[in-house]
Amino acid sequence: MAGSKRYKEGAEQIDREKAYGLRDAVELLKGMPGAKFDETVELAINLGVDPKHADQMVRGAIVLPHGTGGSVRVLVFAKGDKEHEAREAGADHVGAEDLAKKIQEENWLEFDRVIATPDMMGVVGRLGKLLGPRGLMPNPKLGTVTADVGRAVSEQKAGKVEYRVDKSGIIHVGIGKRSFAVDDLVANATALFGAVMRAKPAASKGTYLQKFSMSTTMGPGIRIDPTSVDIADAA
């Protein structure tokens, strides 16, 4: 990728010594040569935390104001009225022990998000080795273990994204598609950046935000000046 003609042409448009305003960065990104598909626009946020320590983990979820531009397949573990509620909200797959068996025996993973009612976590817990490494394990802190399954499904379908700092101290999150309007990408980026800044752990020492950049799936990164982002807009 880094050696492609398109990548090089895009990189030549970037001033590597400059940190761009958020809107300027989005406009620059949209003006670069594009791929043959609608690329995802991704934010990379480097944080001054050590994720090996639990009290410095940065993790959360947020519904982007303009969605992600992609379809999300939602699986819900629920029974009875909650099963009906999940289906009414648009869940793609709903079940209980039957779904757990299918995942275990067939290694079936045709879904992007997993939601569970609290009473189903005994069943879901047995799937930890399959769901955990893929980031699919339901978590009450992320709103994916909840009795309000209708709302949870609706949020996932509307563009709820999860963010989590990796072992290198970086958060990578897709915030939309290259085809999105400039205003929509700016709003989504502002919402995510604001959420990450508000999630600063009390145990974090020194400079929390180390670097903030944006890129497309196949394109070079553009460094962003964090002072150009009005976090109040995302509150």
Report which of 187, 185, 192, 182 is spatially closest to residue 58, judged by C-alpha positions. Answer: 192
What residues does each domain of the chain span? 15-68+160-234, 74-157
Which are the contacts of 16, defined by CB distance < 8 A and separation ≥ 6?
Answer: 223
pLDDT above 60: residue 2? no
Residues 199-213: tens digit of each pLDDT: 999 998 889 999 999
Residues 5-22: tens digit of each pLDDT: 888 888 888 998 999 999
Contact 38, 177 (CB under 8 A): yes
β-strands 170-177, 40-47 pairing: antiparallel
pTM of the model: 0.82
pLDDT score recorded for residue 1 = 46
Task: Provide the 3-class DSSP secondary structure of residue 146.
Answer: coil
Angstrom distance (rounded) from CA 21 to CA 132: 37
Altogether, the residues listed in the chain come to a count of: 235
Task: Name the helix (H) or strand (E) containing 86.
Answer: helix 80-88
Contact 234, 193 (CB under 8 A): yes
pLDDT score recorded for residue 4 = 79
Class of domain 74-157: alpha beta
Class of domain 15-68+160-234: alpha beta
Task: Name the helix (H) or strand (E) containing 130.
Answer: helix 128-131
